[in-house]
Amino acid sequence: MINFWNNILKFPRFLVSVIFGLILIIISPFFVLFKKPLTSFFFIISFTGLIIILAVTIQKMLNVECC
């Protein structure tokens, strides 16, 4: 019975490591963009624009006024 609970307690650690690995796999192609200054500049500008567009869209959808 102790062996069963030891195996059950290993699952949260496994879940965290799988999620962390998935995030690293998804993000790793973007690190290539930071090797050249021009592509890193365009990536930062594009990412900032995307965040602003998403924020404005969500504010309009929820009818929330900011500032």
Q: Where are the domains of the chain?
A: 1-32, 36-67
pTM: 0.58
**CB contact at 8 A, 5 and 12:** no
Widest CA span of the chain, in angstroms?
Answer: 59
**CB contact at 8 A, 14 and 22:** no
- Each residue of 19-52: pLDDT tens digit? 999 999 999 988 888 888 898 899 899 999 999 9
